[in-house]
């Protein structure tokens, strides 16, 4: 990152550098070259949480110039930043759909592979809270877990637990991975996204079991 970029980057945007690091590792593991001389038709699809630093008390205003102010406030989406730094020329998108952000990013990547708009896709998620989180106030039936445990797809689930994380994987069609003799860690047999509507739910943060079963074909 150049000095002028660093000067116009707010503290939370360290998440861009963190994701860039894990993305580089994922691409290397998939034997995807990121040399500057050859454009690479790899897509980038990232689920990214809201920038909490902008709401932090005492956050300084951007430098008093039109360019600095707008570059800082608008920022560069993580997917665009990653594609630029790694010379990736496929489609890119940064998504925020709350808890489903990374899975929606995966679904978008699968669609791009099927449409042949990219030959591989870098898929990931990043959440970095700034300032750092302490404890949280919660109550039964609210978003955050009273027990302090996150139990996805479990009848004992009682809410979410805020945390910081950065992750990235590379996906290709199975035929391409086998043809190129790549390591295959998992096979995606199906993926679907949608909304639950407002029936059979006590609130928008609670999933509808009936709709989820219908979408999964159960």
CATH number of residue 89's parent domain: 3.40.47.10
Residue 46 lies in domain: 3-129+164-175
144 lies in some domain: no
Same domain (yes/no): 33, 71: yes
134 lies in some domain: no
DSSP string, 68-84: HHHHHHH---HHHHHHH
50 lies in some domain: yes
Same domain (yes/no): 81, 123: yes
Same domain (yes/no): 121, 51: yes
Same domain (yes/no): 74, 113: yes
Same domain (yes/no): 63, 168: yes
**What 3-state class would DSSP assign to 146?**
coil
Same domain (yes/no): 171, 192: no
Distance of CA 154 to the CA centre of its chain: 23
Same domain (yes/no): 40, 120: yes
93 lies in some domain: yes
pLDDT tens per residue across span 108-117: 999 999 999 9
Same domain (yes/no): 168, 201: no
Same domain (yes/no): 105, 212: no
Residues of the chain with pLDDT under 70: 1, 5-12, 36, 50-75, 131, 133, 218
**What 3-state class would DSSP assign to 37?**
coil
pLDDT for 202? 74
pLDDT tens per residue across span 20-44: 999 999 999 999 988 767 777 999 9
**Total-model pTM:** 0.82
Same domain (yes/no): 171, 208: no
Same domain (yes/no): 125, 196: no
**What is the arrangement of strands in the sheet containing 42-48, beginning at the earlier edge strand?**
92-95, 42-48, 120-127, 165-171
Rounded Cα distance between 158 and 135, Å, is 17
Same domain (yes/no): 24, 54: yes
156 lies in some domain: no
180 lies in some domain: no
95 lies in some domain: yes
By residue count, the chain amounts to 218
136 lies in some domain: no
* Domains: count for the chain: 2
């Amino acid at each position: 990152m150049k000095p002028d970029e660093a000067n116009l980057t707010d503290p939370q945007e360290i998440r861009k550098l963190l994701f860039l690091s894990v993305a580089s590792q994922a691409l290397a593991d998939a034997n995807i070259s990121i040399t500057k001389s050859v454009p690479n038709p790899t897509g980038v699809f990232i689920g990214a949480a809201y920038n909490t630093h902008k709401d932090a008390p005492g956050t300084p205003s951007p430098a008093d110039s039109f360019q600095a102010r707008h570059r800082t406030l608008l920022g560069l989406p993580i997917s665009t930043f990653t594609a630029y730094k790694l010379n990736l020329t496929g489609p890119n998108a940064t998504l925020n759909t709350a808890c489903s952000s990374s899975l929606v990013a995966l679904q978008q990547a699968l669609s791009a592979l099927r449409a042949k708009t990219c030959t591989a896709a870098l898929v990931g998620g990043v959440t970095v809270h700034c300032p750092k989180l302490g404890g949280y106030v919660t109550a039964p039936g609210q978003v955050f877990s009273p027990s302090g445990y996150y139990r996805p797809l479990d009848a004992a689930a009682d809410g979410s637990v805020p945390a910081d994380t950065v992750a990235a994987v590379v996906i290709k069609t199975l035929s391409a991975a086998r043809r190129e003799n790549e390591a295959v860690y998992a096979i995606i047999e199906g993926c679907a996204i949608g909304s639950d509507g407002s029936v059979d739910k006590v609130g928008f943060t609670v999933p509808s079991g009936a709709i989820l079963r219908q979408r999964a074909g159960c």
